[in-house]
Amino acid sequence: MGEPVPDTVAQQFLKYFLASFTQGKNFYLAVKEARERLEALETKFPLLKLPKPISKKN
């Protein structure tokens, strides 16, 4: 299993993800946008390593 994620980061990710997903964006795009928005938190949480999104295979 991976490293624990601070509650603040998890809550922000969920907030950003749900905002995109409920606007009708597909799952992968919603995850990507949430990850991009979390990059601002990397300065506050220097050990935060955001995972790369899983790419869809045809």
Q: For 2-49, what is each residue's pLDDT tens digit?
A: 677 778 888 998 999 999 999 999 999 998 899 888 887 777 776 666
- Tokens of residue 42, six digits: 């990397």
pTM for the model stands at 0.70
Q: What is the pLDDT of residue 18?
A: 96
User: How far apart (Å, rounded) are the C-alpha atoms in residues 12 and 34?
Assistant: 8
Judging by beta carbons within 10 Å of its beta carbon (0-12, 13-18, 19+), is residue 17 exposed, middle or buried?
buried
Q: How many CB atoms lie within 10 A of CB 32?
A: 16
Is residue 25 classed as helix, strand or coil in its secondary structure? coil
